[in-house]
Amino acid sequence: MRSIPEAFPTRICGVLRTENAEVGFQACLTALEAGIGTIEITKTVPSCFELVKGLIASTGNRYPIGVGTIWDPGAVKEAKEAGASFVVTPVLLPEVGQACREHDILCVLGALTPTEIYQARLAGAALVKVFPIAPVGGPRYIEALSGPMGGVPLWVSGGVAIEEIDAYLRLGVKAVGLTGSLFPAEALAQKNLEVIRQNAARAAQAAAAVPVTG
């Protein structure tokens, strides 16, 4: 099982949601080449597991690829067999945490409130995804949590802007998930890989500028 630094070497994770797997594949390659470091393919993407296998094969297994929007334990086994480095849930699902232990794969469970974050850790989450972060205050919410829950490894996702990466990482967040700000729906629809390349480069640069702590 990969550690958090191994799964998120740049502390940035591109999260792909698209109906077009072919364009999604090219978008992910573009983002990785521009410095993103880690990709999460959501289960809503057609042929999700084939996409994971394809990215791993195309890049010589240089980058950690995960599977997101996991709702059931059975998908954990599929993700592991596809070569995924981690799985991500949108909500707190202890049964997925148990499946991750059984299949020895890094577990990221979704949570929002302090109680859910605590329960996610008890359920086996190596990393807790605070989702959706933007509507509840963004970096200010993480700052408020950091007093009582300072030791909990967090991932933030859901409406994160590239301009906020610096603030999140300085608050000690272990991974920042970028969906629309990295892969804008319009850019995917128009197959505009240059926009995605520029977004990825900006995000990677922002992350690299913040020293790793802890």
- The per-residue DSSP string of 124-184 comes to T-SEEEE-S-GGGTTHHHHHHHTTTTTTS-EEE-SS--GGGHHHHHHTT-SEEEESTTTS-
* Residues 6 or more apart in contact with residue 143 via CB below 8 angstroms: 171
Q: How many CB atoms lie within 10 A of CB 102?
A: 12
Q: 3-state DSSP call for residue 15?
A: strand
70: left (phi over 0), alpha (psi -120 to 50) or beta: beta
> What's the Cα-to-Cα distance from 92 to each of 88, 103, 155, 169, 198, rounded to whole Å?
10, 18, 14, 23, 34
pLDDT at 213: 78
Enter the pTM of the model.
0.96
In this structure, is the dihedral angle defined by the CA atoms of residues 170, 172, 175 and 181, taken in order, positive or negative?
Answer: negative
State CA 148 to chain mean position distance. Answer: 24
The more confident residue out of 136 and 214 is 136
* Res. 214: pLDDT tops 70: no
pLDDT tens-digit readout, 150-172: 889 999 999 999 999 999 999 99
Whose CA is closest to 171, among 143, 144, 151? 143
Q: 3-state DSSP call for residue 81?
A: helix
In this structure, is the dihedral angle defined by the CA atoms of residues 126, 153, 161 and 135, taken in order, positive or negative?
Answer: positive
Band (pLDDT 50/70/90 cuts) for residue 203 is very high
Tokens of 53: 């296998």
Report percent pLDDT > 90 for the chain: 96
> What domains can be seen in the chain, in order of their start residue?
6-206 (3.20.20.70)
